[in-house]
Amino acid sequence: MADAPVQPQRSLSRRGLERLDLLLLSAEALDLNGGEAMVWLSEEMGLTDLFPNRVELWKRRCSNPLRRTTRRDRITEAEADGLIRILNALADRLYPMLRSLLSSAEPPQLSEQRWALFRGRLQELLKERFNPRRGGVQRLLDPQEGPQLCRELIQTMALSAGPGGFTRLKASLMDAAA
Amino acid sequence: MKLTSRYEQTSCRLELEGLPDVSAGQGDQSLGILTGFSLALAGHTELEGKREHLQALLQVVMPYARHLLSGVARPFGDEVSPVLIAPHDQGHQLMLRSSQPNTEPLTLQLDDAELADLVRCLDLRRRGWSWGRSKGTSTRASLRRRSRQRTRSASSASSS
């Protein structure tokens, strides 16, 4: 019997990379120290070979085509896995906050205030770092479409937490059309 | 000796019962072979079942969560499945069917936070216990619903 073909390494598609970076940005919107937490978690999880310092971590995230200053080099599968692991750890850390945003048991007024705060911070970060001419960015900034997209980001983060979160999120990002 | 492990999230508590898997070299205090479980969903009900029932629950809830992550909210399970989950009214409807005669299916409405709690609890299957050996029990055998309704609210339950 012929040997099975060697599976080529699969990195994230353009769409997958956009989603992953948006989720990391959402973590920064939820936690003012989110950027620092990423660096710290990367060191904590032994990812210093992939991301030796915060600049390298930043460069990998800038492979996202939606960024204002984007990099053309594609990230490797190992680097994408590293970023997904960081997001998984961030989602775990932020889980109580994610849960309170998604819960219908929270007082509606308080819930709306929390959502407004999150959306406001995310929009600030988007305007600062992302290309406003991109359709994906405009949809997130749109007052009609934006809130539902923000909810989807938070729901994705909540389901990306936990022991199975890495596998779930990676499979979902791999699904994303190129 | 029967062992139990408990995992809690704000609105969900999963308690596993089982035995150590001595064939895998586990110690007396490691739950290696699952024999039964109870699942308490705050504000809803408490379920009890055997390994097969938990397996049936996992078989629909985990792919449902996986698809939801990709923005594809679609039902898992069908009209003969012991467990069915589907998007419903800005949340998720979990339907548990009993094979006991004259028993109405139990329908639970979960919001996004409760679904995430349930998924996190069920994720704990990754922590090293196995399904053990099947004794041929039908997965259609019912999940037993404990008679007592849980009264405490989701917000008062403790988080793990």
A172: which chain B residues are within 8 Å (Cβ-Cβ)? 66, 69-70
ipTM over 0.95? The verdict is no
Write a three-state SS string for chain B: CCEEEEEEECCEEEEEEEECCHHHCCCCCCCCEEEEEEEEECCCEEEEEEHHHHHHHHHHHHHHHHHHHCCCCCCECCCCCCEEEEEECCEEEEEECCCCCCCCCEEEEECHHHHHHHHHHHHHHHHCCECCCCCCCCCCCCCEECCCCCCCCHHHCCCC
Q: State pLDDT tens for residues B104-134.
A: 888 999 999 999 999 999 987 655 555 554 4
Mutual orientation of helices A146-159 and A77-93 as an angle, nearest 10°? 90
Least confident of A12-21, A88-97, A128-137, B44-53: B44-53
Residue ranges per domain, chain B? Answer: 3-156
A159: which chain B residues are within 8 Å (Cβ-Cβ)? 65, 68-69, 116, 119
Instruction: Classify residue A160 by burial, with Cβ atoms within 10 Å: 0-12, 13-18, 19+.
Output: buried
Q: State pLDDT tens for residues A119-128.
A: 999 999 999 9
Alpha carbon distance B51, B139 (integer Å):
9
Residue ranges per domain, chain A? Answer: 14-162
Task: Specify the pLDDT at position B159.
Answer: 40
Task: Specify the pLDDT at position B103.
Answer: 83
User: Which of A146-150, B7-11, B50-54, B98-102 has the largest mean confidence?
Assistant: A146-150
Task: Specify the pLDDT at position A162.
Answer: 87
Alpha carbon distance A99, A91 (integer Å):
10
Q: What does the mean pLDDT of chain A come to?
A: 91
Task: Specify the pLDDT at position A3.
Answer: 52
Task: Specify the pLDDT at position A135.
Answer: 93
Are residues A159 and B65, on separate chains, in Cβ contact within 8 Å? yes
Are residues B66 and A99, on separate chains, in Cβ contact within 8 Å? no
Say if domain B3-156 classifies as CATH 2.30.31.10.
Answer: yes
DSSP A131-158: -TTSHHHHHHH-TTTHHHHHHHHHHHHH
Q: What is the mean pLDDT of residues A139-151?
A: 95
Residue appearing with tokens 């539902």:
A148
Chain B, nearest residue to A101 by Cα = B113
The C-alpha of A104 sits at a distance from chain B's nearest C-alpha, in angstroms, of 7
Q: Tell whether B141 lies on the interface with A, counting CB pairs under 8 A.
A: no
Q: What is the mean pLDDT of residues A12-32?
A: 94
User: Which of B69, B126, B154 faces A156 most closely, judged by CB atoms?
Assistant: B69
The DSSP letter of residue A44 is H
Q: Tell whether B150 lies on the interface with A, counting CB pairs under 8 A.
A: no
Supply A86's token pair.
């960081």
Evaluate if residue B9 carries a pLDDT over 50. yes
What pTM was estimated for this model as a whole? 0.84
Q: State pLDDT tens for residues A69-111.
A: 888 888 899 999 999 999 999 999 999 999 999 999 999 999 9
Q: Is the dihedral of CA A153, A128, A18, A137 positive or negative?
A: positive
Phi, psi of A130 (to 5 degrees): -105, 160
Q: State pLDDT tens for residues B140-160.
A: 334 555 544 443 433 333 343
Task: Specify the pLDDT at position B130.
Answer: 54
Chain A, nearest residue to B121 by Cα = A162
